[in-house]
Amino acid sequence: MPKIPQRKNRFEDERNIDDTLDEMYQDDDGSRPDMKHFDYKKSRAGLVVVFFILFFLASAAAAAWLGFFLFSPSQKFSENQVVAEIIAPTEITNGIEQDYKINVSNTGSLALANTRVILKLPEGFVVTESTPKATNDRIDSWTLGAIDGNESRAITLKAVYAKPSGTEDNLRAYVDFKPSNFNSEFEKVTDTNLKVAREAVLISMTKKPGQLEVTYKNLTETTITNLVLGVDAGTSFKQTKTNPPAKMLAGIITLQIPELLANKDNTFTIDGAYSPSSTPPANILTTITKQYNNKPLEIAKFELANAGGSDAAQTEPTPRAKPLSISVNGAATSEVKSGDTMKFVVTYKNTTDKPITNVALTLVGVGPSIKNKSVFDYTSLGTIGDPDVVGKQITPERREARITWTPEKTNVLKEIAPGQQVVIELSVGVKPLEAGIKDLSATYTLSLSADNDVLSIADPATITIAQ
């Protein structure tokens, strides 16, 4: 039977509770607060925290949008902020070194990195020196590096444009750069018009009985050095004496001119005649050349009609057959495409009256490349004589191949008799093209040497690659 709690204990418990409440809440006057009328006051701490979080998120969003509009690459950088120009001489003189300049300016506030300049040189244009120095032997490529905001870089050049008066062409520069907040490169292209205003040397020729007389004059105000005058009178012309003394090289009467003084007339005479049984050539060609960077440039030319035997006037230049020639796919110019095979034919005829020994033929081709490899497959090269092939990267986009046939490996070059003609064929494949090739042209130049002396240089062959 369960026990019934004693009421006495309940009263004692209630008394104990009252005593405890008195100890905790009793005021000095012996009263206690009325527990039925406590007021509940809400705390604002949570609201402050929530408001702070919302304010922080709003500020961050505003800063992000502001940064996008103010610092976004598309807003910060414009290609128009990179200004490139080529400054050419106001008057270009045929075959004379003159000053050129390339300016690259960053007019924006964003720094540029990896800045490079590459020139596309027209035919007959040769750069001889530059400041800063070029990155290749052709002197047509420069690395400028970083260009800060509102700064400029300049390239000063000494260059020669060897073309007859009135010739016009374009000199083009490609400027590659990378803005500091971009991962990809940009390219700026600029060009300037070149027009040859005047000749440096005036040349003429007259024919007298038993003698050819060449007159030449320096039209500039300064001395011109290291010129070569050549007279091609044909193989049937037999010279007996020249004044000043000259040499016969590859059928060309060749006079070395160490100095040509300003505004001075000079005369070169050749005594000789054609044999009665021979057929003289229709024209006699006289040229003056000067070498720049081991490349001979023609700076004056005169062609004399060779009819009968008396004096004759100048005629319009007519094509003449050089003893050394090169063709590709049967012509001086050709268009090829990926997968084609280029077929070169090299022809040389000894037009002298003496045998030529220890002959070397050198074919230099300059064409496009990708990743430092030529687009032409020289590993598939087919020819005679096991020629030496040497490749050289001359710019990031252009590569040179030098192919040399030597008498040690090519029997037909050991000795070439008078009147003998040598023909060498060569085949080279065209690789599949890749994207990003800027210049799809190639030029091949052929030269012939004997005992390390250059005897003849052929007209170049040009190739265009069709995409």
How confident is the model over 375-421, as pLDDT tens digits? 899 888 899 988 999 999 888 888 899 999 999 999 899 999 988 98
How far is 119 from 175, CA to CA, in rounded Å? 9
- Of 343 and 370, the one with more pLDDT: 343
How far is 28 from 41, CA to CA, in rounded Å? 26
The residue among 161, 173, 179 whose CA lies nearest residue 103 is 173
For residue 38, what is the DSSP state? P
Count other C-beta atoms under 10 Å from residue 368's C-beta.
21
As given in the structure block, the two tokens for residue 302 are 């005169």
- Quickly tell me which residue has 């062959």 as its tokens: 461
Quote helix, strand, coil % in the chain, to nearest 5: 15, 50, 35
Return the SS3 of 39. Answer: coil
Give the per-residue pLDDT at 18: 63
State pLDDT tens for residues 219-240. Answer: 999 999 999 999 999 888 888 8
Task: Decide which of 3.40.50.1780, 3.40.50.300, 3.40.190.290, 2.60.40.3670 is the CATH code for 78-198.
Answer: 2.60.40.3670
Q: Kind of pairing, strands 112-120 and 141-147?
A: antiparallel
Q: Tell me how far apart the 2 most distant CA atoms of the chain are, in Å.
A: 167
Look at the chain and count its residues.
467
State pLDDT tens for residues 291-300. Answer: 998 889 999 9
In the predicted structure, residue 49 carries a pLDDT above the cut 70 = no
Confidence of residue 109 (pLDDT cuts 50, 70, 90): confident
Provide mean pLDDT across the span 298-319. 60
In the predicted structure, residue 17 carries a pLDDT above the cut 70 = no
Residue 344, CB half-sphere, CA atoms under 13 Å: how many? 26
Provide mean pLDDT across the span 125-152. 93
Return the domain boundaries, the chain: 78-198, 201-305, 324-465
Look over the chain and give the mean of its residue pLDDT values, rounded to a whole number.
83
How far is 314 from 440, CA to CA, in rounded Å? 39
Residue 68 identity (one-letter amino acid): F
CATH code of the region 201-305: 2.60.40.10
How far is 29 from 182, CA to CA, in rounded Å? 82
- Of 37 and 295, the one with more pLDDT: 295
As given in the structure block, the two tokens for residue 44 are 């604002």
The residue among 411, 414, 402 whose CA lies nearest residue 451 is 414
Confidence of residue 334 (pLDDT cuts 50, 70, 90): confident
Tell me phi and psi for residue 374, to 5 degrees: -70, 150
Confidence of residue 309 (pLDDT cuts 50, 70, 90): very low
- Of 306 and 105, the one with more pLDDT: 105
Q: Percent of the chain scored above 70 by pLDDT?
A: 80
78-198 and 201-305 have identical folds: yes
How far is 248 from 270, CA to CA, in rounded Å? 12
Confidence of residue 48 (pLDDT cuts 50, 70, 90): low
- Quickly tell me which residue has 């050749």 as its tokens: 270
In the predicted structure, residue 97 carries a pLDDT above the cut 70 = yes
Is the pTM here over 0.85, yes or no? no
Contact assessment for residue 298 and residue 288, using Cβ atoms and an 8 Å cutoff: yes
The most confident of the ranges 50-59, 340-349, 452-461 is 340-349
Give the per-residue pLDDT at 76: 65
Task: Reply yes or no on domain 324-465 having CATH 3.20.20.70.
Answer: no
The residue among 432, 459, 296 whose CA lies nearest residue 368 is 432
Quickly list DSSP for 434-467: -TT----EEEEEEEEEETTEEEEEPPPEEEEE--
Give the per-residue pLDDT at 311: 35
